[in-house]
Amino acid sequence: MAVINRIAGLADEMAAWRRHLHAHPELSFDCHETAAFVAARLREFGVDEVHEGIAQSGVVAVIRGRGEGPAIGLRADMDALPMDDLSGTDHVSTVPGRAHACGHDGHTAMLLGAAKYLAETRNFAGTAVLLFQPAEEDGGGGNVMVQEGVMERFGIEQVYGLHNGPGLPEGSFNGRPGPLMAAVDEFALTVRGKGGHAAQPHRTLDPIPAGAALVTALQTLVSRERDPLEPLVVSVTQFHAGSATNVIAPEAVIKGTVRSYDAALRDRTERRIREIAAGVAAVHGLEIDVDYSRDYPATVNDPDRFAFAAEVAREIAGADAVDEATPPRMGAEDFSYMLEARPGAYLFLGQGDTPFCHHPAYDFNDAIAPVGASWFARLVERAQPAASA
């Protein structure tokens, strides 16, 4: 089997939904019009239940198959980005400063295509639970859905998602067991000294040499303390201090980001940043406040669920079009929270040589929608075969 025939026949419809969503992008948790569009389509398809207002503007649909069985979760994200759409397409964004530049319009259309097929055919046991979430780019809508209890409420036992992949061969699947995308943390370090006249440094506590020492010390976290085979990024991205050449500033603010895959290494890096800040403060005789905040955790594929998802991908795309050892990425993804709650897998679906996600000229490639929708549908049919099948 390649792409499911019936789903290939939905290609124009999926493209039309996708282009409508592309022209009307919404941000973060404010995906209400998108959610209304999704819910209206789901009701047209005759799914069994449509639940709106989950994580503010998320939608959950339940499709019952034939006979008793477990529940499988399929997820798509619906939100756009706060940037101008320079794609130059006929379906360009109608809202200045908002663009579907990450292809979540395509993810939503693919899951709608799978929903239409599954509601028509019902060639599976148990239930398919479709999770349309807001706020992937900003706010962690997937986390809010998990916190609101969607996994327990709908009895979901395993969960799957995908992301389009610019630069990967069109229609190919790419993933890996274990960590695929990084955990993201941010830190803000405020060096509190005592300002004064630049000609009288001895009457001040200068935060700039202390801040410089701090930045230098932070470099050793990756270069000297970490196992060279363990991925870790510690990037200082901001250093703000001072307003005049003849004034010693009272404080300096240093900010940056930490990216990691391993939970223990993540914990250790936070602890070491706090210790290094305390040590530099002691050496320089001033105070350093540490504000460390954790954003999305690492996106980690369950090995068994990934093997199953890759097997289904091979069925759809052919063995040559499935890369099961794609290098992990340092970007982040809030599907990670769903994968923390339930075993599952997340794959990239190549969309060919197009501008990368978050580029102003980016546009989702509608040609891959039947491939992604077929994968979603076959995951359900293969994981929960109908007794009569």
Q: Which residues bind Zn ion (CB under 5 A)?
A: 102
Q: Which residue has the tokens 């339940």?
A: 62
Which of 335, 375 has the CB closer to Zn ion?
Answer: 335
Nearest alpha-carbon partner for 108 in 149, 64, 57? 57
Residue 232 and residue 259 in contact, taking contact as beta carbons nearer than 8 Å: yes
Tell me the closest approach of the beta carbon of residue 137 to Zn ion, in angstroms.
5
Which of 183, 248 has the CB closer to Zn ion?
Answer: 183
Tell me the closest approach of the beta carbon of residue 357 to Zn ion, in angstroms.
5
Residue 351 and residue 172 in contact, taking contact as beta carbons nearer than 8 Å: no
Nearest alpha-carbon partner for 309 in 242, 208, 383? 383
Which of 14, 102 has the CB closer to Zn ion?
Answer: 102
DSSP 41: H
Burial of residue 83 (CB within 10 Å: 0-12, 13-18, 19+) is middle
Tell me the closest approach of the beta carbon of residue 227 to Zn ion, in angstroms.
30
Residue 378: which residues within 8 A CB-CB, separation 6 or more?
Answer: 1, 4, 312, 315, 316
Burial of residue 227 (CB within 10 Å: 0-12, 13-18, 19+) is exposed
Which of 77, 302 has the CB closer to Zn ion?
Answer: 77
Tell me the closest approach of the beta carbon of residue 27 to Zn ion, in angstroms.
12
Residue nearest to Zn ion (CB): 102
Nearest alpha-carbon partner for 108 in 196, 169, 41? 41
Tell me the closest approach of the beta carbon of residue 214 to Zn ion, in angstroms.
31
Tell me the closest approach of the beta carbon of residue 107 to Zn ion, in angstroms.
8
Which of 111, 280 has the CB closer to Zn ion?
Answer: 111
Nearest alpha-carbon partner for 85 in 374, 355, 369? 355
Which of 102, 112 has the CB closer to Zn ion?
Answer: 102
Tell me the closest approach of the beta carbon of residue 243 to Zn ion, in angstroms.
36
Angstrom distances, CA of residue 125 to CA of 73, 122, 309, 372: 14, 8, 18, 21
Angstrom distances, CA of residue 97 to CA of 24, 26, 27, 83: 11, 10, 10, 5
Which of 93, 384 has the CB closer to Zn ion?
Answer: 93
